Amino acid sequence: MSSKNSNQFDFIQFALDANVLSFGEFKTKAGRLSPYFFNAGGFNDGSRLSALGHYYAKALMQSKIEFDMLFGPAYKGITLVAATSIALAEMGCNVPYAYNRKEAKDHGEGGVLVGAPVKGKVVIIDDVISAGTSVRESVELIRASGAEPVAVLIALDRMEKSGTATEIGERSAVQAVESEFGLPVVSIANLGDLLTYLTASNDLKLQRYLPDVKTYRERYGVI
């Protein structure tokens, strides 16, 4: 496999080994039958979380996006932003991070923001983008603090049009976020990478899912 895509392919193998990425038949929230399923909640021990942080950090550094700090939307984004900041520090890029609470705290330091002061150019870190709700809330909080959101970093871009099994939209959730906020969305890997990985794989068990993934992309995928 191409060294150009080494971070993507290594991440896909990592997700498979952790059973975070699996193949079969899964019903999505939109009611579609997907041949694959990705659940970042499966990165649930110290070793996996550490490795995940390094995949995020590599993807961010490879993007060449200029940033001053990281922001993780509650709840999943909290552990992701912490893991990524640790990985970046180990790579020689020590940057502050912050995250939000779901409910404002009325004692102690108070407020909804925790961590470093939110300022400068901020990268939002999450697992995936579905409806874009957490990104929308994050952008509002960051801008209200006088800072500038500059990108969103996610684990997997499904490159899938919004809508249901029968009513298919024109854009994906990622494209909608990019259009609404004018922010680039960087992913560690995407559906295109997954298809390339399956095509190049010597694992016959994995290869048998390739036709189903191709068909799913043809029906619901964005270009």
- In angstroms, the CA 56 to CA 37 distance is 20
Confidence grade of residue 188 (pLDDT, cut at 50, 70, 90): very high
List pLDDT tens digits, range 127-155: 998 777 889 999 999 999 999 999 999 99
- For residue 153 the two structure tokens come to 């970093």
Rounded distance between C-alpha atoms, residue 18 and residue 45, angstroms: 10
The torsion defined by the Cα of 75, 78, 84 and 87, in degrees rounded to 10, comes to -130
Helix and strand counts by DSSP (H, E) for the chain: 8, 10
pLDDT for residue 175? 93
Q: How confident is the model over 99-123, as pLDDT tens digits? A: 998 776 554 455 789 999 999 999 9
Q: Find the distance separating the first CA and the last CA of the chain, reported in whole Å.
A: 22
Query: What DSSP line would sit under 17-42, residue for residue?
Result: HTTSEEEEEEE-TTS-EEEEEE-GGG
**For the segment 49-101, what is each residue's pLDDT rounded down to a tens digit?**
999 999 999 999 999 999 999 999 998 999 999 999 999 999 999 999 999 98
**For residue 50, what are its two tokens?**
């550490």
Which residues are CB-neighbours of 2 under 8 A, at least 6 positions away?
none
Answer for the pair 178, 145: CB distance below 8 angstroms, yes or no. Answer: no
Instruction: Kindly list the catalytic residues.
Output: 105, 107
| pLDDT the model gives residue 3 | 46
Amino acid at 105: K
Beta bridge partners of 5: none
Parse the chain into domains and list their residue ranges.
3-220
Give the whole-angstrom CA distance, residue 58 versus residue 52.
10
CATH number of the structural domain 3-220: 3.40.50.2020
